[in-house]
Amino acid sequence: MANKINQSNFDKLLNWLGVSGEEAAHEYERIRRTLIKIFLSRGFTNAEDLTDETIDRVAEKIGEIETIYTGEKILYFLSVAKFIRQEAYRKKEIQIGDSDFADSPSNTNIFPVNEREFSKLQKKCLNECFSKLKQRHKTLILEYYDNVREEKISHHKKLAEENSVSMSALRNQVYRVKMRLSECVKNCSEQK
Using DSSP's 3-state secondary structure scheme, residue 24 falls into: helix
Please give the C-alpha separations between residue 139 and each of 45, 55, 63, 146, in angstroms, as whole numbers.
17, 20, 31, 10
Core vs surface per residue 108-119: b (16+ CB within 10 A) or e? eebbeeeeeebe
Helix, strand, coil shares of the chain as percentages rounded to 5? 70, 0, 30
Query: What average pLDDT does the structure give for the chain?
Result: 77
* Residue (of 123, 138, 124, 143) closest to 177 by Cα position: 138
* Residue (of 70, 71, 69, 80) closest to 35 by Cα position: 80
Query: Is the pLDDT higher at 149 or at 19?
Result: 19
Residues 6-35 pLDDT 10s: 888 888 888 888 878 788 888 899 999 999
**Distance of alpha carbon 180 from alpha carbon 192, whole angstroms:** 18
With a cut of 70, say whether residue 147 has pLDDT above it: no
**Distance of alpha carbon 154 from alpha carbon 49, whole angstroms:** 29
DSSP line for 106-171: GGTTSS-S-TTTS-HHHHHHHHHHHHHS-HHHHHHHHHHT-S-GGGHHHHHHHHHHHTT--HHHHH
Residues 62-111 pLDDT 10s: 988 888 888 888 899 999 999 898 888 777 533 433 334 444 434 433 44
**Distance of alpha carbon 163 from alpha carbon 168, whole angstroms:** 12
pLDDT of residue 169: 82
